[in-house]
Amino acid sequence: MSANPLAPEWLVLPADANGLAPEVWPRSARRDEDGVLAVGGASAIALAEEFGTPLMVLDEAEVRRRADEAFAAFTGAAQRHGTTARVYYAGKAFLCTEVVRWVADAGLAVDVCTRGELEIALAAGIDPGRIGFHGNNKSVSELERAVAVGVGSIVLDSRIELERLAAITERLGVVQPVFVRVNSGVHAETHSFLATAHEDQKFGLTLEDAGPAVARIRELDGLEFRGLHCHIGSQIFGVSGFRESASRVLELHAALLADGPVPVLNLGGGFGIAYTSADVPTPIAELAEGIVAAVAEECAVRGIPMPQLAFEPGRSIVGTGGVTIYEVGTIKDVVVDAAADGETPRPAVRRYVSVDGGMSDNARPALYGAQYSARIASRDSHEPAELVRVVGKHCESGDIVVDNEYLPADITPGDLLAVPVTGAYCAVLSSNYNAVPRPPVVAVQDGHARVIVRGERLEDLLARDPGIDLGAQRERHTTERSATADRGEA
């Protein structure tokens, strides 16, 4: 076996294309004596038989372990620096009642950003006081509902929203704790961060505008100012962006202390995870210690007390717990010129492996150019590895599932393929593109599997079109089936 010149530099030709790299698979992932992949003790073949494919599998123990780790990391670091930390699970990464219960068991609060997410969190039975409500354009009815149920905090994102919420609290005669989201001018992504005077994005108030907004909140009986909130991006690998942002936000935080209490500082989420072996994120405990230590230093420099802290991890809790199982449908070798511009042509083969899902169940490659890895799940193979591109079934050339991966050369239609690290921002970003029903999400634990988000049936989709008479369709299908049976056809 040899490396394919079409492969990106970071993709290493594996010694064993059946291997399950520990950084991207749930801890429970293993191959049984027949080479079949099992997650949470449940075999990929059995799962596919019971629930069909594509299928999103969520390893309960992995999610619980990561929630425990995040709780310990942030509360431990806070304690070492003389304060406390509240850890919110950012529900936008993946939300259903079951997951809310898992993270609540780990001591986490939950952050939601729409009425829908709020209702899921409430339905799970979490104390509303442990819910934080975000979003740059919450509607009046969303705010009313949040206040009425008594959410623990609302993160204000604009002056317009501040006045809207003030009117609601006045009408209801209640006091609502609030944060003010600020835009620190720091934007961080993976390895690097960018710091500008003003970041060009929609969230929060500038540091200059936030001061007057806090002064206004302090005038109002219905709003209780809890502190500043800042979220600098997602899939961040290092501490430096958080440090720069905290330093800027603490400048304002210190100034605000002159006119009243500022009990909490919320630094948001964004803690990165590995999607492929090329990613080397900082472990959560190290990240937490680095960020909290940076906040402590910045407070010491300004001679202000360490505030209580809050964090909002999403992806790092739920990402690595998710594995999507697909079935391979077709395989096609395409000859591509691997030569750089001006070089002599160098033909190379790119093998396209098509699976039965795609950008409708994982939009991240199409949306962000996100990279993933894959393994054959239904068996192992000792054939040499070949470079493949795993693609979906949608009518779009950007419908890529795994851009580049080495898989055994004998991969064939009917094989099950598993893609790890699909727990965050996949199911929640799924769509019905090309009238494809969304797959179920199944939790696995100790060999048991149960549906935690029901899959859609084609009927669910057809029922949205008022031009389709489902009753008549069902009847026609029944008639067609009995006619087929009469002709003795299968």
Query: Of 20-28, 90-98, 298-306, 383-391, which segment contacts ligand LLP by CB under 6 A?
Result: 90-98
The whole-angstrom separation of Cα 226 and Cα 231 is 16
The residue (of 235 and 378) whose beta carbon lies closer to ligand LLP is: 235
Closest to ligand LLP by CB, 363 or 417 = 363
Each residue 293-332 as x (binds ligand LLP by CB under 6 A) or -, in order, gives: -------------------xxxxx----------------
What is the CB-side half-sphere exposure of residue 361 using CA atoms within 13 A?
30
434 Ramachandran zone, left/alpha/beta (phi>0; psi -120 to 50): left
Of 364 and 379, CB closest to ligand LLP: 364
* Binding letters toward ligand LLP, positions 42-81, x by CB under 6 A: ----------------------------------------
Stretch that binds ligand LLP, among 87-95, 374-382, 442-450, 460-468 (CB under 6 A): 87-95
- Total chain residues near ligand LLP (CB under 6 A): 19
Catalytic site positions = 395
Tokens describing residue 111: 């952050």
Q: Locate tokens 């093998």: which residue?
A: 351
- Is residue 92 at the binding interface for ligand LLP, with CB under 6 A as the rule? yes
Position among 60, 287, 425, 452 found at the interface with ligand LLP (CB under 6 A): 425
Spatial CA neighbour of 233 closest among 267, 202, 189, 272: 189
Closest residue by Cα to residue 170 from 150, 144, 193:
144
* Nearer CB in complex with ligand LLP: 161/327: 161
Q: CB within 8 A of 304, min separation 6: which ones?
A: 250, 253, 254, 257
> Contact between 368 and ligand LLP (CB under 6 A)?
yes
| Residue 39 dihedral angles phi and psi, to the nearest 5° | -125, 130
| Residue closer to ligand LLP (CB basis): 235 or 354 | 235
Q: Does 238 bind ligand LLP (CB under 6 A)?
A: no
Structure tokens at 81: 């620096």
Show contacts with ligand LLP in window 202-231 (CB under 6 A).
231
Bond from prior residue into 283 cis (ω within 30 degrees of 0) = no
Residue among 204, 241, 269, 307 that touches ligand LLP (CB under 6 A): 269
Query: Taking the complex as a whole, how short is the minimal distance between the CB of residue 452 and ligand LLP, in angstroms?
Result: 19
Task: Check binding of 138 to ligand LLP (CB under 6 A).
Answer: no
Question: Pick from 324, 191, 184: which is nearest to 249 by CA?
Answer: 184
Burial-class residue 310 by CB neighbours within 10 Å (0-12, 13-18, 19+). buried
364 counts as binding ligand LLP under rule CB under 6 A: yes
By the rule CB under 6 A, 234 interacts with ligand LLP: yes
- Look up residue 272 and give its amino acid: G
Among 26, 91, 241, 270, which residue interacts with ligand LLP (rule: CB under 6 A)? 270
In sequence order, which residues have a C-beta less than 8 Å from that of residue 374 and are 6 or more positions away?
A: 390, 401, 402, 405, 407, 417, 418, 419
As a whole number of angstroms, the distance between CA 456 and CA 458 comes to 7
| 187 touches ligand LLP by CB under 6 A | no
Distance of alpha carbon 188 from alpha carbon 9, whole angstroms: 24
Among 91, 268, 281, 358, binds ligand LLP (CB under 6 A): 268
* Part in contact with ligand LLP (CB under 6 A); list of ranges 8-16, 86-94, 97-105, 324-332: 86-94
SS3 367: helix
Please, which residues have CB within 8 angstroms of residue 260's CB and are 6 or more apart in sequence? 218, 225
State the residues that interact with ligand LLP by CB under 6 A.
90, 92-93, 134, 231, 234-235, 268-271, 312-316, 364, 368, 425
